[in-house]
Every structure is written in structure tokens, then in C-alpha cells.
């Protein structure tokens, strides 16, 4: 079941809530992945995607007529490179490879005439290629061979989870840099509507991986501090003073330096996250730990309860629900990387949490508003009863999720 | 009584009111009403209108359509400022524009993907059921695109150098001039051209890539480029463009309009413009009220053509070549030395000419003065604007008798790259690679 509506243009119509809840039929699918982005925006030669493919390479051709078509649509397990070519599908801007709720790999910002590549290590199972906005949005993709997860020991599964999560975080930060740069450009050009749109476009990428950013004690305050948390004598930097300028003062004036500094800080976040990923991949000290990912999943929901539900996060732009949804998606993705391991530890907890996420997402989706710039109802329009319904749905997911870290370290 | 005649009559009424839209849509569904024979529209007229609505000009090809295409009846022209600093974002938008243009020029919506209820439609919708109406979408790059923003400075051809101030340009208004990009949309239906520009502007705005800088609707063709087309009249009532370059005059088009035709040598860094052409636009306001008080013989002296027939004052019919050497009884030139057609003629300009593709426009009334705000939205294509339009306009701007009644108030210069070869290709791809 999908709750994601496609967006027409990245940025203008942020109706894309982003929880891709695709229930694939395969049991115990364990997609191990290292989703690495490459060659974004490289120009595709006309008809370049029609030729034969090399072993381990899958051409995903996106056309107005047929939607997303993968050639071949069945591959043996192993390292697979996906070359996504948007031939002429104006409505499609992103493609995802999804395995049992988890985004194994994705490319954003696709346009007709361009191609983009990502690769992933895939174990046997059934996947879905999801192209929001295409004439046919979902196609099945099959990987033959061992569904390795079932046979491997728990330690290996947990290690794989950390690698998967590392890839997810790196992707989100690379996607984040694009709108942040656009926002800085717009601010320097004095283009208020463009700067506001870019702000809205950027926020979800950060909110999805906020626990990772928080693990760097200097960076998160520099990037995401709200005014009430600024210590005396410290400058207020990051997203929120920019938000105040763009949405309360309705001006780009004086924001140029803040926007430039934000780019520097996010690039620094990217470097540090990449170091974490590298350590995770090589198995050296200092990489992601599985229990941290579990804690992160729970933290994201705490974050919602603490600052989104109160309406503190986006006090000027009122796009709190967009952040809310991004926190939930980030939490779900963190949880989804742990699923294969959790299935061994406690088979009952996985369906329980998955269902809770489905319920929460459905509750949240009631507040979608395509006419709003963020794609969501402005937060000050919510009644107390609305907020209570959201909190109730949150708690149902948070309770079992908060127990996961402890189960992993047992 | 059959309702055949009634529905056709209603069709014609509708067509008159709405431009020649929706031929098929009017063909049925109206109740029986009294119809006289005079009301009956012949089958042949209905068929012709349907054919006009359904006509498609191929979008893909080695050269862009909308240059030598037989000139359509309506125009919407739009200039854009690029707002992004990210060249990749700009390239992707040109990719989106090409894919959208390919569909819209076939009379299709921007996308056929199903729209979800909680999502704005992919296409704005006002083009539905109208047909392609020979829509062409021609894209150009302005000199400002080649500044330091996108790393294109060394790819700018000298032909694209901004003109500076040419005589007669002193009242040019910046807010109606220039732009990093331009779109010329032409079709035989006004709503079709509006729909095209609106959706392309939406895609540009929505991706934060470019915003509309200024735009212009042209309500009627003011020149003819097809060899069988009748010469239309401008808002001064004169036949304009009688001696225009025709779409079947390949030799002249290669010599005067297309860049790098017949394998002509080009600098490697400007090779991306081969098979392109340079577009000059000028919004030329006419002092309508003053013109309307000018006596016929003075009007004819200014143009050096007879108003009724379009023939030059030296005799013959519309298509007779003017005799610039002819003298009258007093020994004065029959065609005034500063007459419009003399100053602009190839004979008086070392054989140089341009392909004109202008449209009559009106913006209604000037709210400040109450005068009609109307004139000619001049468009010309050429191989080298520095030695073609600029030379001609420098002469005209200095001494053209017409200058008393016109003012150039806006416009610009753009390099229109070669055509989009097929799905996956896009406007100006060779410039960016």
C-alpha cells in the first residue's frame, strides 16, 4: 500500500509525503545494500538505454508511455548497478528500489534526457521499482539466488543493517545539499519565493537523519537550533534564523552569510557521516552500531513528540507536519534496516511495529494539503483533537520501537 | 428538419468567438433550432477547420520548428530570467522543456500519468480537446546566459553580442527587454499558445530554475513565410513582408537565416550553433491615433506602397519589384529616399535580408494616456544579427519616415540552437557538453 503521492516538480509541489510503505510479498527478503550515488545529472544520449546490458547492470528506462521498465527484470544476487534513464517522462522526478518497506536505493531530481546511477548489493527476493508520477508507478523486480539473510548469523545481519543505514544517511545528506545550495542562490539573488520553496524542499532530508547529525555535538546546534535554545553570547545560525527571515520578516535581506555558513556546516556533516560510513564498511572502530540505529529510530519519534507536536520546530514557516512526516520516515527506514536481524531475535515485534507505522502514516496523511506550499496543512490549523489523534498513533509505534535497542544488545 | 445545419451553425458561431477552436467538440450536442440555408456551413469548411485544429508540425528534427514553418496565426512570446546558479538544474529544465514541447506540439497534455486526487494536475488543462493547431515551440539563449554564472562565457558566439543602443532605441524599457532564455510559441489558436507558455513557465518556476521576465501575446500574423501564404496587413493597414524570405527558398535561407549551412567553417567553441538561427524581437508601439489622422498620400509616401493593393508606388502589383531609381515629373525619386521599403530593401543593403515572422499585438489601452497600446511585435531570424538586423535597424532608426509614428519599446536578441533530434535530446545540449 502506498501513501506517497508523486510530486510534479521537486520543490513546488511537496505533496510527496515520503513514507514508501510498499508491502512486498516476499518473506524474509534481505536486501543488503550499499546504495551509492553516481553520475547524477549526466546527460543521456538519445536512446542510450535501449542497448543490451552488462552483467550486474540493470537499465531502468522511464518513459511517458510505459512508466518504469527494468531490463532485465530478474538478476542473480550480488552487486547490481541501476542506470536510471528518464527518456521523456515529464511527471517522474524520482525512482526508488524498495524491499519490504526499506528504500534500498533511490535517485532524485530526474529529468527527461538525463540519466543517473546507483548500485546496491542485493540478496535473493522480490523488490519493487517505484516511480512516483509514472503512468505505471510500480513494477516488480526479482533477484534470484540465496535470500542470504535467513542463513546468516545474527552478527552478520546486524553488521549488514549498519551498512544499509550508512548508505541511507549518505544519500539523504547528498540530496540535502541540492536545495540548500538553491536556497543560498535564491537568497543572494533576493528571490524570496524561490528561497522559501528551497527551504521547504531541504528540511525533510535533514529531519530524516537528525539523530546522526545530533551525534556530532557541534554541528547539530549550528544547523538546527531554535531561537529558544540559543545560549547567551552564541550566534544563532542554521536553518531557523533563515526560516525567520524568509517566513516571518518575508525578506532575504541579511541572510546570505547564514545561508553560506549552512552549506559549509552541511558539507562538514557530510564529511563526518562519510567517515562513519567508511568505518562501518571496513568494520573498523567508530562506525555505526546496530543499537544506535535502533535508538535513532526511537529518538526520531521522541523528536516528534517533543518539538513537532508542540509546534516549536517550524515556528515561522508552519511546515511542522512536513518535518513530522520526515522524522517518521527516517524512523521507519532505520527500523527497516534492522528487520532481518529482528526477525531472528523476536519474530513478533516486526509485524507489530510495521503495522504501527502504517497506522501512524495513515493518520498523518489526513493532513495532506496539495494547496499548501509544503504539501501539508499549516500546523497552526490543527485542533487539539487532531494533535491528540497523532500522539496516540505515535505512541503505539514508539512503545515497541523503544524496546528494540535493548533486544539487540541482549 | 435535421439538426445537422443547426449544429454546424453553432459550430461556426463558436469558432468565431473562440478562435477556430474545438472543431470536433462543436459537432454534436446542440438541440434542434430553426436553421435557414444561409446558416448552413458547408462540409468542406468544417473539414478544413478540423484539419487546421489537428495539424501537427514535427517537433523533432535537425533544425528547430517555428523559423521556416509557414507562419501560424497566433503568438505567445516569453522571456525568462534563470534563477538557479546550478548549471545542472538549468540543463534538467531544458530537458523537461523538450519533453513537454514534444508532447504539446502533438496536441497532447504535458503528461498522461494519472493525477491523484490530492495532487495538482500535471497539465493545467486549458489545451484539452483543442488540437495541436500547428503549434511550434522555439527556444533561444540570450547574451546574459553567457556571463559568469554557468561557465558558458567562452562558448558565446560573437554574433550574440548585445547590440547596445541603436538609433531609435532610446525609449527601450528594461522590463520589456532581454532575458536569459526565450520561448516563441506559435499556433493557429490563441489558447494553444498560451497553454504552451504557461506550462513551460510552470515547470521552470516549480523547479526553482527560471522565472518569467516578460511576455507578449500576438493576435495576428503580420508577415508570411510560406510560399502560398497571403501577405497580411499590419495595424497601419499596409501589407507588410511582401518580399520576405520564403520557406521554399533554400538557397536564401542557407545564406541568410541558418548558421553554418552547407558545412560552412565554424569555430569549435561555437559549433553548438550550427543549424541554429538568431532571433531578434522588437516590441514596436504604433502611435495609432496620430497615424489615423495622417492623409493617405503621406501614409503611402512613408511605406512607398499603395495602401489598397500593396503595389510599390513605382507600379505593378504587390509582388512587382520596386524601382528605386524611378523619378517623378519634378525629377524627385518616386520612392522617397527615406521611405521604409527603400531603407530596408536588400537592393539598398548589399543584398542582405532577414526572415521576418512578426505579429500584430495589442495590450488594450494605455491606462496613463487612454491611447490604444498596440503595434507590431517584430520577430526576425538571421544568420548573423550583427551584420543583418543591426545594420538594417541602424539605418532605419536614423531616418525612416515611419519613425514619426512608431517607437521600439522592448525586445531582445537570442541564439536559437539547432533542433532537438529525438526523445532524450534537449534544447542546446551541445552547448552544455
Distance from C-alpha of B3 to C-alpha of B9, rounded to nearest angstrom = 10
Enumerate residues 6+ apart whose C-beta is below 8 A from A399: none
Residue pLDDT, tens place only, B210-249: 999 999 999 999 988 887 788 899 999 999 878 889 888 9
Cell of B107: 496536441
Q: Do B95 and A134 touch (CB under 8 A)?
A: no
Residue pLDDT, tens place only, B307-356: 999 999 999 999 999 999 999 999 999 999 999 999 999 988 888 899 99
The reported pLDDT for the residue numbered B182 is 98
DSSP string computed for B132-174: -TT-EEEEEE-GGGGSTTTT-GGG--GGG------TT-TT--G
The reported pLDDT for the residue numbered A13 is 36
Distance from C-alpha of B165 to C-alpha of A113, rounded to nearest angstrom = 39
CA dihedral of B30, B31, B34, B40, whole degrees rounded to 10: 30
Cell of B220: 495576428
Q: Do B111 and A11 touch (CB under 8 A)?
A: no
More confident site: A46 or B125: B125
Tell me the count of A-B CB pairs closer than 8 A: 138
The C-alpha angle with vertex B16 and arms to B11 and B19, in degrees rounded to 5, equals 100
| Long-range CB pairs of B44-51, under 8 A, 24+ apart, other chains included | B45/B12, B46/B8, B46/B11, B49/B11, B49/B15, B49/B20, B49/B23, B50/B23, B50/B24
The mean pLDDT value of chain B amounts to: 89
**Dihedral sign, CA of A370, A376, A379, A385?**
positive
Complete domains list, chain A, with CATH:
36-151 (2.60.40.420), 171-409 (1.20.1420.20)
Q: How confident is the model at residue B110 (pLDDT cuts 50, 70, 90)?
A: very high
Q: How confident is the model at residue A152 (pLDDT cuts 50, 70, 90)?
A: low
A72 cis-preceded (ω within 30 degrees of 0): yes
The reported pLDDT for the residue numbered A309 is 82
Which residue, among A305, A335, A339, has the nearest Cα to A320 in the 3D structure? A305
The reported pLDDT for the residue numbered A53 is 63
Cell of A239: 536553518
Q: Which residues of B touch A (CB under 8 A)?
A: 83-86, 88-89, 91-96, 98-100, 102-103, 110-114, 116, 118-120, 122, 203, 205-208, 211, 421-426, 429, 432-433
Find, in chain B, the residue whose alpha carbon is nearest to that of A195: B208
Model ipTM? 0.79
Q: Do A112 and B112 touch (CB under 8 A)?
A: no
CA dihedral of A21, A25, A30, A32, whole degrees rounded to 10: -60
Which residue, among A164, A159, A157, has the nearest Cα to A345 in the 3D structure? A157
Choose the mutation target among A37, A113, A200 for the interface with B, i.e. most B CBs under 10 Å. A113
Distance from C-alpha of A105 to C-alpha of B29, rounded to nearest angstrom = 53
| Range scoring the smallest mean pLDDT among A28-37, A134-143, A389-398, B239-248 | A28-37
| Range scoring the smallest mean pLDDT among A29-43, B243-257, B406-420 | A29-43
Q: Where are the domains of chain B?
A: 4-54, 74-432
Q: Do A90 and B422 touch (CB under 8 A)?
A: no
Residue pLDDT, tens place only, A218-239: 888 899 988 888 888 889 999 9
Q: Do A13 and B91 touch (CB under 8 A)?
A: no
Query: Which of B86, B91, B116 has its CB closest to that of A43?
Result: B91
Distance from C-alpha of A161 to C-alpha of A296, rounded to nearest angstrom = 13
Distance from C-alpha of A78 to C-alpha of B264, rounded to nearest angstrom = 52
Q: In the block, which residue shows the cell 525578506?
A: A251
- Answer for the pair A241, A362: CB distance below 8 angstroms, yes or no: no
- Determine the longest span between alpha carbons in chain B, in angstroms: 79
Enumerate residues 6+ apart whose C-beta is below 8 A from B236: B286, B291, B299, B303, B405
Choose the mutation target among A8, A197, A199, A368 for the interface with B, i.e. most B CBs under 10 Å. A8
Q: Which residues in chain A (116-155) have CB-CB distances under 8 A to chain B?
A: 133-135
CA distance B139 to chain A (A): 16
**Dihedral sign, CA of A86, A90, A94, A95?**
negative
| Burial grade of B154 (CB within 10 A; 0-12, 13-18, 19 or more) | exposed
* pLDDT exceeds 60 at position B99: yes
* Helices (H) then strands (E): counts for chain B: 9, 10
CA distance B164 to chain A (A): 25
Enumerate residues 6+ apart whose C-beta is below 8 A from B407: B168, B171, B284, B285, B287
Amino acid at each position: 500500500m502506498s501513501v506517497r503521492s508523486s510530486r510534479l516538480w521537486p520543490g513546488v509541489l511537496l505533496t510527496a509525503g515520503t513514507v514508501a510503505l510498499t508491502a512486498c510479498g516476499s518473506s524474509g527478503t534481505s536486501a543488503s545494500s550499499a546504495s551509492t550515488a553516481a553520475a547524477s545529472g549526466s546527460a543521456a544520449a538519445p536512446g542510450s538505454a535501449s542497448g543490451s546490458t552488462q552483467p550486474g547492470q540493470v537499465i531502468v528506462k522511464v518513459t511517458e508511455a510505459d512508466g518504469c521498465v527494468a531490463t532485465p527484470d530478474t538478476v542473480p544476487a550480488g552487486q547490481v548497478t541501476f542506470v536510471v534513464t528518464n527518456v521523456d517522462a515529464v511527471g517522474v522526478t524520482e525512482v526508488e528500489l524498495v524491499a519490504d518497506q526499506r528504500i534500498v536505493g533511490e535517485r532524485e531530481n530526474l529529468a527527461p534526457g538525463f540519466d543517473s546511477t546507483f548500485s546496491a548489493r542485493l540478496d535473493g527476493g522480490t523488490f519493487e521499482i517505484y516511480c512516483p508520477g509514472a503512468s505505471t508507478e510500480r513494477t516488480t523486480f526479482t533477484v534470484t539466488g540465496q535470500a542470504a539473510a535467513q542463513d546468516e548469523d545474527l552478527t552478520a545481519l546486524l553488521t549488514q543493517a549498519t551498512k544499509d543505514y550508512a548508505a541511507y544517511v549518505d544519500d539523504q545528506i547528498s540530496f540535502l545539499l541540492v536545495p540548500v545550495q538553491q536556497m543560498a542562490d535564491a537568497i543572494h539573488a533576493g528571490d524570496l519565493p524561490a528561497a522559501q520553496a528551497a527551504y521547504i524542499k531541504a528540511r525533510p532530508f535533514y529531519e530524516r537523519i537528525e539523530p546522526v547529525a545530533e551525534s556530532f555535538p557541534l554541528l547539530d546546534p549550528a544547523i538546527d537550533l531554535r531561537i529558544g535554545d540559543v545560549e547567551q553570547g552564541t550566534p544563532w545560525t542554521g536553518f531557523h534564523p533563515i526560516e525567520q527571515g524568509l517566513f516571518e520578516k518575508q525578506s532575504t535581506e541579511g541572510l546570505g552569510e547564514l545561508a553560506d555558513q549552512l552549506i559549509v556546516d552541511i558539507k562538514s556533516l557530510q564529511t563526518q557521516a562519510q567517515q562513519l560510513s567508511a568505518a562501518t564498511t571496513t568494520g573498523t572502530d567508530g562506525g555505526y552500531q546496530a543499537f544506535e540505529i535502533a535508538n535513532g529510530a526511537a529518538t526520531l519519534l521522541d523528536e516528534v513528540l517533543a518539538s513537532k507536536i508542540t509546534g516549536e520546530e517550524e515556528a515561522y514557516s508552519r511546515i511542522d507536519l512536513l518535518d513530522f512526516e520526515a522524522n517518521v520516515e527516517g524512523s521507519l527506514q532505520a527500523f527497516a534496516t534492522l528487520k532481518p536481524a529482528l526477525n531472528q531475535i523476536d519474530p513478533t515485534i516486526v509485524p507489530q511495529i510495521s503495522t504501527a507505522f502504517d497506522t501512524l502514516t495513515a493518520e498523518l496523511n489526513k493532513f495532506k494539503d496539495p494547496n499548501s506550499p509544503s504539501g501539508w496543512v499549516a500546523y497552526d490549523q490543527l485542533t487539539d483533537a487532531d494533535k491528540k489523534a497523532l500522539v496516540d498513533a505515535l505512541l503505539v509505534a514508539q512503545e515497541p520501537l523503544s524496546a528494540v535497542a535493548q533486544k539487540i544488545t541482549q | 428538419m435535421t439538426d445537422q445545419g443547426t449544429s454546424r451553425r453553432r459550430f461556426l458561431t463558436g469558432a468565431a468567438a473562440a478562435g477556430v477552436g474545438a472543431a470536433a467538440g462543436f459537432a454534436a450536442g446542440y438541440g434542434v433550432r430553426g436553421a435557414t440555408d444561409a446558416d448552413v456551413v458547408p462540409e468542406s469548411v468544417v473539414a478544413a477547420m478540423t484539419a487546421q485544429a489537428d495539424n501537427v508540425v514535427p517537433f523533432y528534427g535537425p533544425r528547430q520548428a517555428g523559423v521556416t514553418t509557414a507562419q501560424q496565426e497566433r503568438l505567445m512570446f516569453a522571456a525568462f530570467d534563470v534563477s538557479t546558479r546550478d548549471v545542472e538544474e538549468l540543463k534538467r529544465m531544458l530537458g523537461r522543456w523538450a519533453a513537454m514541447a514534444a508532447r504539446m506540439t502533438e496536441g497532447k497534455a504535458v503528461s498522461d500519468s494519472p493525477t491523484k486526487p490530492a495532487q495538482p494536475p500535471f497539465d493545467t488543462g486549458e489545451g484539452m480537446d483543442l488540437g495541436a493547431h500547428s503549434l511550434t515551440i522555439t527556444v533561444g539563449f540570450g547574451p546574459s546566459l553567457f556571463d559568469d554564472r554557468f561557465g558558458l562565457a567562452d562558448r558565446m558566439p560573437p554574433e550574440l553580442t548585445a547590440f547596445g543602443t541603436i538609433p531609435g532605441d532610446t525609449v527601450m524599457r528594461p522590463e520589456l527587454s532581454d532575458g536569459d532564455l526565450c520561448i516563441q510559441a506559435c499556433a493557429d489558436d490563441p489558447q494553444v499558445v498560451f497553454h504552451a507558455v504557461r506550462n513551460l513557465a510552470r515547470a521552470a518556476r516549480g523547479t526553482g530554475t527560471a522565472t518569467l521576465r516578460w511576455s507578449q501575446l500576438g493576435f495576428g500574423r503580420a508577415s508570411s513565410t510560406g510560399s502560398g501564404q497571403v501577405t497580411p496587413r499590419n495595424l497601419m493597414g499596409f501589407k507588410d513582408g511582401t518580399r520576405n524570405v520564403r520557406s521554399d527558398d533554400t538557397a536564401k535561407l542557407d545564406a541568410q537565416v541558418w548558421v553554418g549551412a552547407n558545412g560552412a567553417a565554424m569555430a569549435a567553441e561555437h559549433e553548438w550553433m550550427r543549424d541554429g538561427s538568431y532571433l531578434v524581437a522588437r516590441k514596436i508601439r504604433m502611435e495609432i491615433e496620430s497615424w489615423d489622422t495622417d492623409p493617405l498620400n503621406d501614409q503611402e509616401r512613408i511605406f512607398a506602397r499603395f495602401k489598397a493593393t500593396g503595389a510599390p508606388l513605382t507600379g505593378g502589383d504587390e509582388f512587382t519589384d520596386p524601382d528605386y531609381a524611378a523619378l517623378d515629373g519634378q525629377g524627385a525619386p518616386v520612392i522617397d529616399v527615406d521611405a521604409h521599403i527603400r531603407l530596408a530593401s536588400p537592393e539598398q543593403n548589399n543584398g542582405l535580408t532577414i526572415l521576418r515572422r512578426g505579429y500584430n499585438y495589442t495590450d488594450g489601452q494605455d491606462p496613463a494616456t487612454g491611447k490604444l497600446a498596440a503595434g507590431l511585435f517584430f520577430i526576425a531570424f538571421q544568420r548573423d544579427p550583427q551584420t543583418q538586423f543591426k545594420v538594417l535597424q541602424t539605418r532605419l532608426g536614423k531616418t525612416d519616415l515611419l519613425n514619426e509614428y512608431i517607437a521600439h519599446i522592448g525586445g531582445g536578441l537570442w541564439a536559437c540552437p539547432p533542433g532537438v533530434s529525438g526523445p532524450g535530446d534537449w534544447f542546446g545540449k551541445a552547448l552544455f557538453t
